[in-house]
Amino acid sequence: MSKIQDPAQFGRVAVAMGGSSAEREVSLDSGRNVLAALQARGVDAHAIDGIPALLDALRAGHFARVFNILHGQHGGGEDGVLQGALESLHVPYTGSGVLGSALSMDKTRSKRVWQSLGLPTPKFVPLPRGADVHAAAREIGFPLIVKPACEGSSVGVTRVFEEKDLDAAVALAEKYPGDLLMETLIEGDELTVGILGRQVLPSILIVPKGAFYDYNAKYVADDTRYICPGLEGEVEASLRALSLEAFDALGCYGWGRVDVMRDRQGRNWLLEVNTAPGMTSHSLVPKAAAVSGIDYQELCWRVLETSFRGDA
């Protein structure tokens, strides 16, 4: 149930989108959809492209709160930098705060937190620039995954089955800022679990046409299949419980999405948390919400309600 009935209670809302990260185009697509949905529900919402323009508008007193649908880091608004700026201006915003955003964006540190709590995550080796990647691969064993430690949307990710392909995978990941991460490739099913306030949405089993769920399968292809709920009965309940535990462990709140691999033996492995998930026509949280009886406009309204921290 929505807590707020009158759209005027939100005040004038900035829908922050676009920005300067590697995920700019996805963010613009998400933002356009969110903006239209909020406006259709009577919210006084306006698009703002990127963090500098947003902060200028907020300092000028133009907005009461922010719906953050910026994706990624380095101008993407999902890494804690924007959250810190908004905190300093005392402007409420959707999604996780500084700590949860920063920790979730850094996959290596996310995994260290989960590891320390005994939560399952694939074996990994952090790869600072210049690290001996072949020694790391011997430690992990093939097959493995190489990816930037701080990017989303499967940007720069390669599945590596043989040593001869390792250098090319590292070269691709190094095109993005920050350190790299190498981890065991879990072969099995890819699932994702959306979280809205304290409600855990049904899981989604992702069945891409190709070998794995890459950027193209996420945002371009129309032949990826989504099965929701992805599991049934007790195994579905335990996956949802694990996802909420992983979300809480990173200090996240408001809303988000937890990505998980389920191996052939039925064990769940935590991959990452997204603190500003996509809201495009292909996106996963809207699909899971719809199965729960929450349409797209209502979903956007509920996410906007998370900007009221006390009772999000």
Model pLDDT for residues 91-147, shown as the tens digit of each residue? 999 999 999 999 998 899 999 999 999 999 999 999 988 889 999 999 999 999 998
| pLDDT attached to residue 156 | 83
Q: Given 213, 219, 253, 296, which residue is catalytic? A: 219
Distance from CA of residue 281 to its chain's centroid? 16
Calpha distance 244→242 (Å, rounded): 6
Q: What share of the chain has pLDDT > 70, as a percent?
A: 93
Q: State yes or no: is 272 an active-site residue.
A: yes
DSSP 25-56: HHHHHHHHHHHHHHHHTT--EEEEESHHHHHH
Cβ neighbours for 291, distance < 8 A, ≥ 6 positions apart: 201, 202, 228, 229
Q: Given 18, 23, 49, 65, which residue is catalytic? A: 23
Q: State yes or no: is 153 an active-site residue.
A: yes
Q: Where residue 312 falls among pLDDT bands split at 50, 70, 90? A: very low
Q: Given 30, 68, 274, 307, which residue is catalytic? A: 274
Residue 213 vs residues 121, 157, 277: alpha-carbon distances, Å: 18, 10, 16
| pLDDT attached to residue 217 | 52
Q: State yes or no: is 30 an active-site residue.
A: no
pTM of the prediction?
0.90
**Rounded average pLDDT over 50-72:** 96
Q: State yes or no: is 219 an active-site residue.
A: yes
Cβ neighbours for 60, distance < 8 A, ≥ 6 positions apart: none
**Rounded average pLDDT over 14-22:** 91
Calpha distance 44→60 (Å, rounded): 17
Q: State yes or no: is 257 an active-site residue.
A: yes
| DSSP type of residue 312 | -
Q: What domains can be seen in the chain, in order of their start residue?
A: 7-94 (3.40.50.20), 104-120+186-291 (3.30.470.20), 124-184 (3.30.1490.20)
Sort residue 239 into left (φ over 0), alpha (ψ -120 to 50) or beta.
Answer: alpha
Q: State yes or no: is 298 an active-site residue.
A: no
Residue 59 vs residues 76, 80, 164: alpha-carbon distances, Å: 20, 19, 53
Q: Given 278, 283, 302, 307, which residue is catalytic? A: 278
Q: Is the pLDDT of residue 179 over 90?
A: no
Calpha distance 13→63 (Å, rounded): 6
Q: State yes or no: is 23 an active-site residue.
A: yes
Q: State yes or no: is 112 an active-site residue.
A: no
